[in-house]
Structure 1
């Protein structure tokens, strides 16, 4: 039974084949960050006494994916979630859902009626499909059928440039229908593709392997990084993960074994294609990691050159960090090295991840998140081993090239 103060909204999730499975988990983590447990968010889909683990919730367990209906009591949370999500295309108020298009007008929710019947509001209509395309002629026909006199009979006036309401008809891959809307003017909308300015092709300082900007922001969201959190990357590289965390207001720390990379010698280089070089305030300086923070007017991280794998590594901070986010060096990049066999690579990976957890047990506070990437190669099972002192929150696979892939893993310290 839906309580009176609750609203049904529809999450329109990213349909990317490569990154799609990250979408539902990012949504779960962001709503949880703003105070909504995933059991409450997704109670439409699972019995309360049989709720799955977070990592068990996938596109296969959610009917109508990538359109996901959720319950919200506080609508002010919508712009907060959208302001930092990469994988949620939009969040719409649900009007109706049905197995056939003819049934949509018979299932209209009361929450939508004040908007549909308001002749003082203007509107625009569109269609979102799942994994297939339809012609423009068919689009017009469907919009008239759903929102016209024979459908919802919307009383709004048409305004294609600055509407008050944006109506959407969503068609799932198994040909089911969901109608929804958002308030284009009255609800604060996020800046489209806010993370695009951080794309690597425009990043001023790069190394041989720099973490992609979208993956860095996803990892920050998985860690639920927020303002004034203390975040540590023990394999900082050129600082991609820390740039994302700094964007969300975190106080960043990093270590890196390769001093040449941190200071811009040999393998680190200035990206000549970066538009930042055309900024009149830019001054020609030696390439180094802090340039990536200067580029976006972010505070520089606190960095040290060291190898956490060494026995004498002693950070001298116990339970200090709120999150550790990293892409350990014995991952995808190790698999393409010319020297070393698979057995050697596996030994390297095992050693570095073991040490990573040893450091995390010491420096991560209780309830803090450890988010990292783990490589998978041909024949490897897609699973994550249990670690003493940590709870597995989630793991998702990202497909790579040549049958390689990697897991984005999220752990929480107990």
Structure 2
């Protein structure tokens, strides 16, 4: 699954959480790398402590479009910065990686031998060395038609890795309680970051099912499955929180109609994360009736189940943005998925609200014709919710 379009918005959201200013050297939503200028490694570690999109980060010693150009720039890297890691007491290893291509053992050894000019005096240690140096090369996205020589090459000292281990930790395969529409952990964790969820924040998922989105948010501060006739005793949303020792972050669940929210109309949520029903795998209905002047006798009220009517996606999104405009704290964010036809997509036709500013618009391609976009809005004023504020 490609998450390239999520990276820059995620970096910007995380930097905002920690109050950091990003200085971009190479900013691209298409290339599988970005280059930033940080004043010190503490800044880097803060980004890495939250980022799902980052695999690893290096202190860049050199880059080039050819091996000759790369080695020339590595050799010209300030010697005083290299000498800090060149002593006999520091073990090291060199790690080689190519994007969309697997380097053979012979290729990796050949590349490592080319770095014999480095003044590293320590012992080579493949497991738990003091320092890891990374050689990375990019040859394009078409793995069936790769050129003989890479387009871009990079070398540097590894500073650290992102939080991709959390994807395995929250794998649906090992999750106690899942459903037909349970969100994949990579996307759930990215949503939590883009919504700037932090410790102590009050977070709401108005369309919560098995709690995948709020479970990911907690990491930073009838039967649900087709064919399952009986749910096990421990299968519940709370059970998922208990499985990951996150029960202290669990608030509660309320069953309500999204078109008739039961909450007090005050700004008290720091973040709202949602995957609204599209009417494909989950029904889109709300409480209502097409009949006029309907009355229910008092004796039938205890057993009465409200009738339902169709709830169009445009109405769902209108209500969701109105809800966010009213119930989010100033500066709070709402992140939700919005389905689109790729051929008809027009950014100008995206839903909007005068109290909310669009901060991110990330596409997940589902097929050649369809995709869904993660839209992230931030509340910029307290004008509240009025129907004229919404444009869809």
Q: How does 1:3-402 map to 2 (within 5 A)?
A: 16=1, 18-37=2-21, 40-42=22-24, 44-45=25-26, 58-60=28-30, 65-107=31-73, 108-110=76-78, 112-115=81-84, 117-145=86-114, 147-149=115-117, 152-173=118-139, 175-182=151-158, 193-249=165-221, 265-267=222-224, 285=233, 287-299=235-247, 300-310=250-260, 313-330=261-278, 333=281, 348-377=312-341, 379-383=343-347, 384-401=350-367
User: Mean alpha-carbon deviation: is it higher for 19-28 or for 369-378?
Assistant: 19-28
Distance 1:103 1:123, change over 3 A: same
TM-score (normalised: structure 2) = 0.78
Encode CA deviations 1:340-394: one digit per residue, 9 max, x unaligned: xxxxxx9711010000011111100111111000012364315234321111111
Distance 1:357 1:326, change over 3 A: same
Residue 50 of structure 1 is matched in structure 2 by: none
Distance 1:92 1:332, change over 3 A: farther
Distance 1:121 1:144 in 2: 19
Distance 1:194 1:119 in 2: 36
Per the TM alignment, residue 331 of structure 1 is displaced from its structure 2 partner at its CA by 6.2
SS at match of 1:157: coil
Per the TM alignment, residue 330 of structure 1 is displaced from its structure 2 partner at its CA by 2.1
Per the TM alignment, residue 148 of structure 1 is displaced from its structure 2 partner at its CA by 0.4
Distance 1:28 1:271, change over 3 A: farther
Distance 1:120 1:288 in 2: 53
User: Which structure 1 residue ranges, 5 or more long, are not aligned?
Assistant: 1-15, 46-56, 250-264, 278-283, 337-345
Given that 1:371 and 1:410 are in contact with CA atoms closer than 8 Å, whether structure 2 keeps it comes out as: yes
Distance 2:152 2:77 in 1: 17
SS at match of 1:32: helix
RMSD: 2.9
- Who wins on radius of gyration, i.e. which is larger? 2
Distance 1:225 1:191, change over 3 A: closer
Given that 1:330 and 1:352 are in contact with CA atoms closer than 8 Å, whether structure 2 keeps it comes out as: no
